[in-house]
Amino acid sequence: MSNFGDVTYADAPAADSTAPAGVNGSEQPILIDPNDPRLTSEVLTIDETADAYAVLPPLPDGKWRMKAKQVDIKDDKGQLQRYAVFSRAKMANGQPFFATNIEYSAIDHGTEEFDGVRITDYWVKTLLDQRKGTSQAATMILKLGGKLPASPTQKAVMDTLLQVLASEPELIYETAWSAECQTCQNVAKKRGEKAPRPFLQGMHRFPATRTPGVHDPIVQCPTCKGQVRAQARLVAPYSLKETQPTRGVAKQG
Ligand SMILES: [Zn+2]
C-alpha cells in the first residue's frame, strides 16, 4: 500500500523500534561460560563456498505468504508509540488521523533462503481515501481476516487493527523490486522538489544473471549515474482466501 506519498522501506530493519530484544524480552545480556559445550563440543557444518558478508538478494517478485506484526511508530514529538495521531495540511485538508506501522515477514517453505525476510509498511492510516471508499487500516483488517467494527470511527478502526495484529496473522502480499536513487531523492528534498519516482520497477526489468530466473539487483541511476540496489516493495495485499502464494512454496516430491 503506497498512497499519499508514503515510503515503504524494504529489508532495512527500522531503527530501534524493531531491534531484537534479549531472551524473554529483557535487554539484559545472558552470561555464558566460555567452556559451554555449545562452543567447545558442537561441530558446525560450514559451507566453504559461502560468504557471511555477502548481501542477500532482495525478495524475488511474486506472491509471498507473510506474517504481520505491529511495530511502533514515531509520533510528531519523536516518541515511539503503538499508534499515533497526525494531521498534515497536504493530506485531506489537514483532517486528523491515526497511523501505525506493520511489519511483514516472509514465510519460505521452499529454499528457505528468504524465510523471515522483513518488509515494513510505514504509516498505515485510518484516513478514508475518498476515491477508494476505504482506508489502509480498514483494508488491512479485512485482508488479515478480521471484521470491521460496527461503528467504524477512526479510533474504532485503529483499535480493531491492533487487536487483529496482536495474533500475528498471515496474508499473501505481492512484492516487486524497485530501484530508487537515495542520492537524487536527497537532492530533490533539499531543493524542496517532489521526490523522483523509482526509475526501475519489476524484477524482470533488472539485468539477467547466468542463473536462469535470477536477476542482478544492482543498476545505475539514469540521472546521477550512481549505483542503486533494488529493494523489494509491498505491492498488493490479499487475504488467504483470495489467492495462493507463488513464492516460498515447498516443492512437491
Ligand atoms: Zn541518482
161-182 tens-digit pLDDT? 999 999 999 999 999 999 999 9
Distance (angstroms) between ligand 1 centre and the Cα of 199 equals 9
Q: pLDDT-derived band of residue 12, with 50, 70 and 90 as boundaries?
A: very low
pLDDT of residue 27: 58
Distance (angstroms) between ligand 1 centre and the Cα of 186 equals 9
Asked whether the predicted pLDDT for residue 20 surpasses 90, the reply is no
* pTM assigned to the model: 0.80
Distance (angstroms) between ligand 1 centre and the Cα of 231 equals 15
Distance (angstroms) between ligand 1 centre and the Cα of 232 equals 18
pLDDT of residue 252: 63
61-106 tens-digit pLDDT? 999 999 999 999 999 999 999 999 999 998 999 999 999 999 999 9
Distance (angstroms) between ligand 1 centre and the Cα of 72 equals 31
- Say what percent of the chain tops pLDDT 70: 89
Distance (angstroms) between ligand 1 centre and the Cα of 181 equals 5
C-alpha distances (whole Å) from 29 to each of 42, 55, 125, 176, 242 are 22, 28, 36, 38, 44
Q: Domain spans of the chain?
A: 57-238
Distance (angstroms) between ligand 1 centre and the Cα of 228 equals 8
Distance (angstroms) between ligand 1 centre and the Cα of 226 equals 6
